[in-house]
Structures are given as C-alpha cells and as structure tokens.
C-alpha cells in the first residue's frame, strides 16, 4: 500500500515537471522605446572645422532667397530682414526614435537692433526626404540675444509644424551676448543624466569651459511629432541675426544613420 502511494506521488510530480517544462512561454508585452538599451554613440559627422569637407546646405521654406556662406571653417548666415531663415543639410539621415546629439559653436555677430528679434537656432527631427524643402516641420532650440547693454535673452522650446512656428515653453537667461562664442549641444531622446528617454531633449550651453545652461524638455506635447518609421534631418535657423557656426558635430548610433 505504501509502495503504491509512493509510486503515485512520484508519477504526479513527474507529470507536473513535464507540464512546466513543455508549456508555451507567456506572451511578452511589446517593448517600448524607453526600454531599449542604446548602443554607444559614435561621431558620424564633423564639418566647418577647416579640416573635414562640408555637406550641402539648402534654403528651406523661404519666399525668395537669402545670402549665406558655406566656408571650410564656418557656416555664415546673413539676415535678410527679420524673417525666419532656415537651412537644412543634405546627406545625413537619422532615426528619430533613437538617441543622437548635435553640437556646434556659434556667435551672433552684431548687437541686435532694438526692435528686431534675433537668435541662433539648431533644427532637428526635420521631417521629409532629401529633396523636400517646402513646408518645414521640425523641433528647434534657440539662443536669443536681447537688445540692451545688459546680457540677457531667452531660450525657446520650439519648432515648426507644417511651416508654422510653435512654442511649448521658454527659459529666461541672463548671460547671452553678441560677439561671444558659445557651444550649443542638443541631445535627442536623452535625459539630463545621459540616459535614453524617448521624446526628451537635453540642452547644454557652454561659454568656454563654463556651463551656462543644462536642462531637459519633454517634446511629447509639441504639435509636430516625427513619423518614427522614416528618417529625419538636421538644420539651422536665424531670426533677425547674422551668425557664424563652427565645429558642427553629430553623434549617433552607427546603425541608426543613413547616408543617401
């Protein structure tokens, strides 16, 4: 009797073990972009440094034309009267849902007119294929120099949606001056601690070795959102200012970069 009970218990345990090892695995939920571990970023573009060749920069969404100069060591923008003037770069396409970083040195060349808006601006997540230079949709971060002798201005959390300016916030600053070179760095899909964070942009401004600003912005509420199945471009913008850009660099995961 005792042997029969033991054999029954052993048979029950064997069946339970077999069921556990042969059962189909539970269906896993789809991983959100935030859960994906990013690969290390590599330097994928370097220009306007007097050493590396420069790419092609085209006027994007402007009634008419305006003057700008692509030089070996600088991209120079010349204000044509206070309207937004955009340039978009050809030859580099980025995955909008993966992390990438743009940085450049810039100088607003002349003190602003008392009545004129003015700024240097980096455009990123620029929608459309290479030849699309009509209606602009993008995210943007600017540095504005306000009129007057006291350094001050504003940084706007902004962009364009179907050609129209949109803003979701701004930050007052007390250090911006014309004729001073700053570094503007924009880290896309990255939080201020350097971790991957979808739809978050971290912004840094340096004057020499001195950090002037570092903050993050949630771009989820912005009216334009990229089509995450299609690559995006980068660009630059002025609003009422002549400026000079130097040492442009882009860092990205190599697998997330396309060269047309």
Instruction: Report the C-alpha dihedral over residues 171, 188, 139, 157, rounded to 10 degrees.
Output: -10
Q: Which residue has the higher pLDDT, 166 or 11?
A: 166
pLDDT of residue 150: 82
18-22, 96-100, 161-165: least confident range: 18-22
7-11, 76-80, 172-176: least confident range: 7-11
Checking if the pLDDT of 149 tops 50, the result is yes
Domains of the chain (ranges; CATH) run 39-258 (2.60.120.560)
96-129 residue pLDDT tens: 999 999 999 999 998 777 666 789 999 999 999 9
**pTM of the predicted model, to two decimals?**
0.85
pLDDT of residue 239: 93
């Amino acid at each position: 009797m005792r042997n029969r009970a033991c054999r029954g218990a052993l048979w029950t345990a064997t069946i339970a073990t077999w069921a556990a090892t042969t059962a189909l695995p539970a269906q896993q939920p789809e991983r959100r972009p935030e859960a994906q571990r990013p690969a290390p970023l590599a330097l994928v573009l370097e220009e306007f440094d007097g050493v590396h060749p420069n790419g092609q920069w085209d006027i994007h969404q402007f009634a008419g034309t305006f003057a700008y100069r692509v030089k070996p060591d600088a991209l120079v923008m010349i204000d044509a009267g206070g309207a937004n003037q955009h340039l978009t770069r050809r030859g580099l396409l980025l995955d909008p849902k993966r992390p990438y970083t743009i940085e450049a040195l810039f100088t607003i060349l002349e003190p602003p007119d008392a009545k004129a808006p003015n700024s240097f601006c980096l455009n990123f997540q620029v929608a459309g294929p290479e030849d699309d230079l009509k209606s602009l949709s993008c995210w943007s971060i600017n540095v504005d120099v306000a009129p007057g002798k006291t350094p001050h201005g504003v940084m706007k959390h902004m962009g364009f949606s179907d050609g129209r300016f949109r803003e979701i916030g701004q930050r007052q600053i007390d250090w911006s001056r014309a004729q001073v070179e700053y570094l503007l760095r924009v880290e896309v899909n990255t939080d201020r601690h350097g971790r991957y964070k979808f739809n978050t942009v971290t912004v840094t401004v340096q004057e020499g070795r001195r950090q002037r600003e570092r903050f993050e912005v949630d771009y989820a509420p912005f009216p334009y959102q990229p089509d995450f199945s299609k690559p995006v471009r980068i660009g630059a913008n002025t609003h009422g200012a002549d400026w000079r850009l130097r040492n442009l660099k882009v860092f990205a995961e190599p697998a997330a970069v396309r060269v047309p």
